[in-house]
Structure 1
Amino acid sequence: MNRRRCATAAAISLVCALTVQAVAGQALAAPEPPPQAPASVTVPGEMAPPPPSRSLEAVRQQIDALYRQAASATDAYNLAKERTEKQSAEIVQLAQEMAEGQARIEDLKNRAGAAARAQYRAGGLPPEAQLALVDDPQLFLDGVGRIQQGQKATKDLIAELTQTQADLAAYSKDASAHWERLEASRLKQEKAKKEIKAKIAAAKKLEDKLEKEELQHLLQLEQQAQYRAQSQWLDSGILDEIDGRASEQGRKAVEFATAQLGKPYVWGAEGPGSYDCSGLTSQAWAAAGRGIPRTSQEQWRLLPRIAVKDMRPGDLIIYHADASHVGMYVGNGAIIHAPRPGRNVTVAGAGSMSILGVVRPDK
């Protein structure tokens, strides 16, 4: 590892040591290998037990897969929740427009009724017939003008009434469609919620079966896997190419994310006391004055993409093939992210997980 990479590793280790979640932050440093267990005694005729480390590694991979699935379901939940809130607001707006349209129709009907009553009081004769009985030329000319104005007003009144009734019918149709979409989003939200709870419960059930020493060893295995991935990423020479400086908004987003270090991961949370991965990144950029999509999958789908070598602090790194995780790049090969249930917002190696790509909110 060249001098720059050594300096980078040292800088990241220092930041990690200062985080509230010290254990999680040490994932970038190479952990000490676990002590070797004494050889077990095998009774003749019985199968030898699997090596403890290999068995525990399988458990770690299973737990990691469950939390990954929970993260993907969390994205689905967050997206459905966002759409539900938007559709509810649209329905409220449509209801208001329908009420205003109905009031407008009543007003137009009242005006039409007033005109009819005025004609009745005039003896039931239409204005044209009344005009024919006028002897005074000036009154005749004035009457022609009033009739023309009245005809235009009547025509406008009928046109406005017809359009308002059509608008009201359209509002009603839109409201029905919105209700259907709202119900569909609610069902998706509920389904995702159940899946999240099931996956987290399954992961916790596996963890609860482990002894204290096994849990510590499990954390070491997790750190070792992250360290290997980060080392491989650094060994590619990628930091020699990355030299971007944060924009003003990017700097503010990084400052916000840094201030959240140590706060717990909670699925569906957007702060201020806890976050999930995309809750942290979306709120950080909101604090910087830039609204971005709520979920990591929508951030990947909608935000401008850039090459990894061109990234700068504040950019978002999207992880895994299903875009189910996101972290904020903070420079020197590190990210700040909310990892998973049971972990806190922490600093980690940008290459410690499988990178799908990078997006830039303020491009």
Structure 2
Amino acid sequence: MNKWIVALCAGALMAASAVAAETKSGDMLDHMILSASGDSWTVWGAPGAVRDDAGVKGGKITRVTAKKGANPWDAQASTVVPQAVQKGDIILVAYYARVETPPAGAATANIPSASIGLNKAPYTSFASEPSAPNGTWGVYYTSGVAEADHPKGSLNFGIQLAAADQVVDLGPVFMFNLGPNWDLTKIPHNKLAAAAPAAPAAPAAASSPEAAYAADLAKLRTKLPVKGVLINDPTQIYSYGPDITETQIAAADITGGKAKRIVTNKAGAHPYDDGASSPISAAIKKGDVVFAAVLVRATEPAPGAQAALIPELGVHLAGAPYTAIATSSATAPKGQWTWVYASGVATTDYASGTTGFAMQLGGSAQTLDIGAVYVLNLGPGVDTNKLPNNFGKPF
């Protein structure tokens, strides 16, 4: 192994103080299954160029110039997991990254997911973690526990880059198979800085979509015991999964005047294989009550059904083990706009950028329209029994 690879890997481990404390660096190197330089990335969906950069050991990087896509995964950089992985194995990836040109108005890159998963349909992953590289080279992590045996060459580590217009530099990447017995509390995770406050916007015209969503939010808040803080953008709705088709449609009968139409073409092996999501940027503290309200309409339920089925919706940890914070199930009647809800209490602190809203849609072939997603942090001490729900307390 090249000396610079060893030195750079040691630097990555030193950045992960918990890993460094857990084992000697030499022992950690025994778990390494991949060490690759910055010119080894495979890029698709965006221009990728190998460049010289003295800022990282080895002197080579891959620069990806990404455009915002319909989905964050429309542009990716990836590398193959080179060995077979057994069920229960803990996989840790450490990669070097920096942002050359951040999204407009931001200081960091927007990477909603860097994941380990199948490199062919249904592209399921067992590890995912967001990151927000700044302009200085840093080490970022993804880790997870393999949910099944995976043969050699069947897995990829991939970084989603199409969440925004941005230019991201990727350096060396290291991968470790820690086996099944590692203490998960010792695994490093990314620390995402809170987003800077947005500049004050000009007042919206009364007929604008922004004003319409604000009015809907105000109406929702009249049904809640406290006002709460909106922690997502109601218009940011993304679909995911191998059997999903997404289009934007006009919807003059709801506020905002538009909706996302999400077609589940066939039932997946699991309900969570396909769905819809909305990113959450804010931190959530232990004891906070989180409430989600989603406007939905079934246009084509499953054959023989009168309503679309939503096996689960709510707010979760964005990466494995996908811990639920607020969760529920719901149905959506055919041809009728309906509000569906989820609520719950956070049992631990969650850093900004580590959670998200998700709705499982892979349980059956159906078509569902989503008008808007509102996620509110109501703070501590709110009785969830007094919140709107899907079982008799509508909005």
TM-score, structure 1 as length reference = 0.21
Structure (1/2) with the larger helix percentage? 1
Structure (1/2) with the larger strand percentage? 2
TM-score, structure 2 as length reference = 0.20
Structure with larger Rg: 1
Relative contact order (alpha carbons < 8 A, sep ≥ 6): 1 or 2 greater? Answer: 1
